[in-house]
Amino acid sequence: MNKPRRASDTPYAVEVEAGKSYFWCACGRSQDQPFCDGSHKGTGFSPVKYEAEESKKVFFCGCKGTASKPLCDGSHKKK
């Protein structure tokens, strides 16, 4: 299986809006990090949908190694 590209060494802090859906880039190739721009086509990766239940700041994974996709779980601190 392909490994995703590490887009960032830190998470992306994003103010999400209640009731809105966001599509997190799982492949690491998007130019619109942390969100999908379609760059995954042909890679075997698919974006992960995140539905905001409330308006707040969340931290989307930038290293693409999180076990709690699409949110950061601290995996970027492990080398």
What does the pLDDT look like over 32-57, one tens digit per residue? 999 999 999 999 999 999 999 999 99
Answer whether residue 4 shows pLDDT above 80: yes
Q: Is the pTM of this model over 0.85?
A: yes
Q: Which residues of 6-34 are buried (b: 16+ CB within 10 A; e: fewer)?
A: ebeeebbebebeeeeebbbbbbbbbeebb
Q: How confident is the model at residue 2 (pLDDT cuts 50, 70, 90)?
A: confident
Cα 42 to the center of its chain, rounded Å: 18
Q: For residue range 52-74, list pLDDT tens digits in order.
A: 999 999 999 999 999 999 999 99
Average pLDDT over residues 21-38: 98
The full set of domain ranges for the chain reads 1-68
Partners of 16 in beta bridges? 56
